Amino acid sequence: MNNGFESYQLILLSKEYLRELYNWNIAEKHYEQFTCRPLRSKKSYDEYVNKMMDSINSIKEKTYILVKKDNNGIPLGKIELFDYNPRNHSAEFGYYLPKHNRNKGLGSIILEQFISISFADSDYNLNKLYATTASNNIPSIKLLEKYKFRLDGKLREHYWINESKYDQCVYSILKSELIENHA
């Protein structure tokens, strides 16, 4: 697809972007809606930098930042590849846009570029990418389905958000499906 996305690019996370990403974490009021993992208290900036530097230096995970080419490299969102499994040639990913950058089409830009980059990355030789989301996260579900991710299954009542229970939806796309979709 070419929808004006060429003015944006995904770049690998580097230390210069950590302050902005940390600020996103501090400002986010509804973080519990974006993960089913245990919530931890906010880290200090130094703790955050140490954790993220470990991530930057790891082959098992990669974090990309979306920037607009003519905007001095200001980060607009991020997408992370993690839980890489070399035996199964698979990896999970998650994306995040700060509130002020939501509903602008940036999720499509991030996901489209990320899919291409990830399947082309010879360090991983991926066959499958997968993501999870809460069943009430309709924007995320629509985004994944737009890019032909298929629902593999649900973990029932896996998200507890403000005393409400939601299923966790597991979506994936195979490299062969990506080729079929672009044929």
- Segment 88-142, tens digit of pLDDT: 999 999 999 999 999 999 999 999 999 999 999 999 999 999 999 999 999 999 9
CB 77 within 8 A of CB 66: yes
What tokens were used for 45? 């900036």
CB 82 within 8 A of CB 51: no
- Name the class of domain 5-181: alpha beta
Banded model confidence at residue 159, pLDDT cuts 50, 70, 90: confident
pLDDT of residue 1: 44
C-alpha dist (Å) from residue 89 to 55, 92, 125, 175: 19, 11, 6, 10
pTM of the model as a whole? 0.88
